Structures are given as C-alpha cells and as structure tokens.
Structure 1
Amino acid sequence: MNYNIKVSCSKERLKSIREFVKDTLSDYAIDEMEISQLVLAVDEICANMIIHSHGCDETQTIEIKIDVEPNQGIVFQVIDKGVSFNFSTYQEPSLEKIIETKKKGGIGLMLVKRIMDDVQFSSTDGFNVCRMFKKLQKN
C-alpha cells in the first residue's frame, strides 16, 4: 500500500509527520518499539530537510511517501526541492568528540543509518529524495 503527505517546511509540521508515520504503520503487524524507531528516523530526515535544506521557509514543502509491502519491507521517501545533501561526503561523528565538546545535534543521521537497513540520497531534475528501506520481520 502507498501513503503520502505533503507539508510546509515549518518545524511545527514535524508533529503531523510523526503522527502520519505512526498512524500508517499502526495498521500493520509491526512491533510498537520498531514503529517508534521508524518514526524517529523519518522525523530526523524531515527535520534536517526543513531546517537545513529550506531554512524553515513555510512557503516550501516536503513530501513523505510510505510504501508498505507486508512481510517484505517498508520504503520511506522524503522528497523536496531544497538544497541537496551530498551523502557521499557524510562522515559519521565520533560520539566521544560530541560529548567532549558538548555539541548539540549531529547524531541524527547516524541514528537513521542504524535504524534503517538502507539509506540513499539522490537529486534529479530539481528534486532531492531521501530513500530509506526497512526490512520487516516475518511473523
């Protein structure tokens, strides 16, 4: 099944995104803890796009698509027209360094990579897409 939502690039819209993901996944036989992790991963990507790619410009939008294939997996796509992110240059931060410098933030993408089975970023024809895949456990 396919589901989608389009929201303005406002941090206030993150709650709607979290609710959309949770409500969508709650219709399937997915463990509550796993749903919470998936909500966190999608929220983190959306927050990064809203803040870094669009500067919280409410005239801009992002679209979230969820494609659920029961007993196989879930594909999440976050699509926008903002500033693209070059995933190939991403270097995972050292937790020790973050703690040492008391830096706030910087671990979101690291969490996403640990939650999801696959994370890809692409840019084509003015659209940026973050595609995340999570394999479902067979019941």
Structure 2
Amino acid sequence: MKYCYKVPCKKEKLKEIRCFVKEVLDKHGLSEVEVSTLVLAIDEVCANLMIHSHGCNPKESIEIEIKVDKGKGLEFNIIDNAEIFDINDYQEPSIEDIIKKQRKGGIGLILVKRIMDDIQIISDKKKHVCRLVKKIHIN
C-alpha cells in the first residue's frame, strides 16, 4: 500500500505532516510508541529539509511517500529538489559535547539514525529522495 502527501516548505506545515504520518501508521496496527517514534523521525527529516535546504520558501515543496509492506515493514520516501544532505555522512557529536557547548540542535539526526534501520539518499537531476526504512511487523 502506498500513501502520498505534498506540502509547501513552511514550518507551519510540519503539524500536517505529523498528522498524515500518524494517520497512515494508525491504520496498520502499530503501537502508540512505534507510531510516536516514527512520526518523530519523519518530522525531524522534513523540518531539516524545510529549514536548511529550502529556507522555509513556501514556493518550494516536499513530498512524503509511505509504502507499507506487510512482509518487509515501512519505507518512507521524502522527495524534494533541494541541495542534498546525506544523513549517512553526518558525524554525531557526543551528548557531552552538545551539553558542554549548550547547543540547541544536533540531537534530531542522531535520533533518526537510531530509529531507522536503513537510510538511503537517492539523487538524480530532477529530484532527491531520502529513503528511511523501518523493519517492523505490520498488521
């Protein structure tokens, strides 16, 4: 089963993305903890794209595609055309460094990498896809 949702790159649209992801996941019998964890990961990636790659430009958009496969789990594709950032190249700062330097950010991508089982960046001349895979039992 495949679900799609497209929004302009405005921070105000993050709530709609969270609602979309939650509604899709709720249909497939995941626990409340699993749903909340996955919503957090998708929200973090979308927020980073909107803010850092698109500069919150509402004339640009991102698309979220959720594929549900009872045998494999979940595949989230976040599709846009901004300059790509490969989350796999992100070097995690230590929690101690974040606290010591009193950084306000830096934890979101750490969480995404720990929540998801596989992260792929797929790019061509027209679009970029951040594919997040979660191997999980689906009803």
Q: TM-score, normalised to structure 2's length?
A: 0.95
- Is the counterpart of residue 50 in structure 1 residue 53 in structure 2? no
CA separation of 1:113 and 1:57: change in aligned 2, threshold 3 A: same
CA separation of 1:13 and 1:138: change in aligned 2, threshold 3 A: closer
Instruction: Kindly indicate whether the alpha-carbon contact (under 8 Å) linking 2:87 and 2:109 is maintained by their aligned counterparts in 1.
Output: no
Distance 1:21 1:136 in 2: 15
Counterpart residue type for residue 82 of structure 2: G
Distance 1:47 1:106 in 2: 13
Match of 2:34 in 1: 34
- Is the counterpart of residue 73 in structure 1 residue 73 in structure 2? yes
Question: What is the 5 A alignment of 1:1-139?
Answer: 1-137=1-137
Counterpart residue type for residue 106 of structure 1: G
SS in 1 for 2:39: helix
Which stretch shows the higher mean deviation, 118-127 or 33-42?
118-127
CA separation of 1:88 and 1:137: change in aligned 2, threshold 3 A: closer
Counterpart residue type for residue 116 of structure 1: M
Distance 1:108 1:43 in 2: 9
Report % sequence identity. 53
CA separation of 1:122 and 1:138: change in aligned 2, threshold 3 A: closer
Q: Output one character per residue of 1:80-137: Cα deviation in whole Å (capped at 9) or x when no partner.
A: 0112113453211111000001100111111001111111122212311110000113
Distance 2:113 2:80 in 1: 20
Distance 1:87 1:123 in 2: 13
Which stretch shows the higher mean deviation, 123-132 or 12-21?
123-132
- What is the Cα deviation at residue 42 of structure 1? 0.3
Aligned positions, number: 139
Distance 1:102 1:18 in 2: 28
Structure 1 residue ranges (4+ consecutive) displaced by more than 4 angstroms after TM superposition: none
SS in 1 for 2:105: coil
Q: TM-score, normalised to structure 1's length?
A: 0.95
Give structure 2 stretches of 5+ with no counterpart: none
Distance 2:89 2:111 in 1: 17
Give structure 1 stretches of 5+ with no counterpart: none
